[in-house]
Chain A
Amino acid sequence: MANIVHYINQFFAGVGGEDSAGAGPTLVAGPVGPGRRLAELLAPEHQIVATVWCGDDIASGVVPAIIDLIRSVDTDGGVDLVAAGPAFTSGRYGLACARVAAAAHDAGLRAVASMHEDNPGLDEAGTTPVVASGEVARRMAPSLDRLANAIGLLLRDEPLTAADGRIGKLARLTVMADATAAERAVDLALVRLGGDHTATEIPLPRFDQVTPAAPVEDLRTAMVALVTEGGLVPDENPGSLESARATRWLRYPIAEIDGLQAGEWRSIHGGFSTAYANEDPHRILPLDVGRQLVAEGAFGSLFGEYFVTTGNGTSVANARRFGIEWAADLRHSGARAAILTAT
Chain B
Amino acid sequence: MLLCNLISIAERVGAPRIVPTRGIPYPTGDPSLTPEAEKEWRRRLLERALEALQTVVHQPTVFQVGPATKAQPDTKAEPETKAEPETKAQEAHA
* A and B in contact, CB less than 8 Å: yes
Report which residue of A284, A288, A299, A341 has the largest number of chain B beta carbons within 10 angstroms of its beta carbon: A341
Residues on A with beta carbons closer than 8 Å to the beta carbon of B28: 282-286, 289, 341
A204→B92 contact, CB < 8 A: yes
A273-322 residues at the B interface, CB under 8 angstroms: 273-277, 279-280, 282-286, 288-290, 292-293, 298-299
B93→A339 contact, CB < 8 A: no
Residues on B with beta carbons closer than 8 Å to the beta carbon of A283: 25-29, 31
Residues on A with beta carbons closer than 8 Å to the beta carbon of B62: none
Residues on B with beta carbons closer than 8 Å to the beta carbon of A288: 39, 42
How many chain A residues touch B (Cβ–Cβ < 8 Å)? Answer: 43
Residues on A with beta carbons closer than 8 Å to the beta carbon of B89: 209
A337→B53 contact, CB < 8 A: yes
Report which residue of A212, A277, A337, A343 has the largest number of chain B beta carbons within 10 angstroms of its beta carbon: A212
- Known interface pairs A212-B16, A272-B24, A286-B28; A298-B47 also in contact (CB < 8 Å): yes
User: How big is chain B's contact interface, by range?
Assistant: 35 or more
Cross-chain pair count, CB within 8 angstroms: 114
Q: Flag the segment in A169-177, A214-222, A242-250 that touches B.
A: A214-222
Complex Cα spacing A206 to B91, Å: 11
B24-41 residues at the A interface, CB under 8 angstroms: 24-29, 31, 35, 38-39
Report which residue of B26, B42, B43 has the largest number of chain A beta carbons within 10 angstroms of its beta carbon: B26
Residues on B with beta carbons closer than 8 Å to the beta carbon of A107: none
Q: Which residue of A lies closest to B21 (CB)?
A: A341
Residues on B with beta carbons closer than 8 Å to the beta carbon of A204: 92-94
Query: Is B8 part of the binding interface, using a Cβ–Cβ cutoff of 8 Å?
Result: no
- Known interface pairs A289-B46, A340-B1; A215-B55 also in contact (CB < 8 Å): yes
B73-94 residues at the A interface, CB under 8 angstroms: 89, 92-94
Q: Which residue of A lies closest to B35 (CB)?
A: A280
B45→A212 contact, CB < 8 A: no
A136-165 residues at the B interface, CB under 8 angstroms: none
Complex Cα spacing A162 to B49, Å: 43
Q: Closest CB-CB distance, A222 to chain B, in whole Å?
A: 8
Q: Closest CB-CB distance, B32 to chain A, in whole Å?
A: 10
Please give me the 10 A-B residue pairs with the lowest Cβ-Cβ distance, nearest first.
A283-B29, A212-B16, A342-B4, A210-B14, A283-B26, A286-B28, A341-B27, A272-B25, A276-B26, A212-B57
- The 25 sampled A-B contact pairs (Cβ below 8 Å) are A204-B92, A204-B94, A207-B13, A208-B14, A210-B14, A210-B15, A212-B16, A224-B53, A273-B25, A275-B25, A276-B23, A276-B26, A276-B29, A282-B39, A282-B42, A283-B25, A283-B27, A284-B27, A286-B28, A289-B46, A293-B46, A340-B3, A341-B27, A343-B25, A343-B27
Given contacts A283-B27, A293-B43, 9 further A-B contacts (CB under 8 A): A212-B16, A212-B57, A276-B29, A283-B31, A289-B28, A299-B50, A339-B46, A340-B1, A342-B6
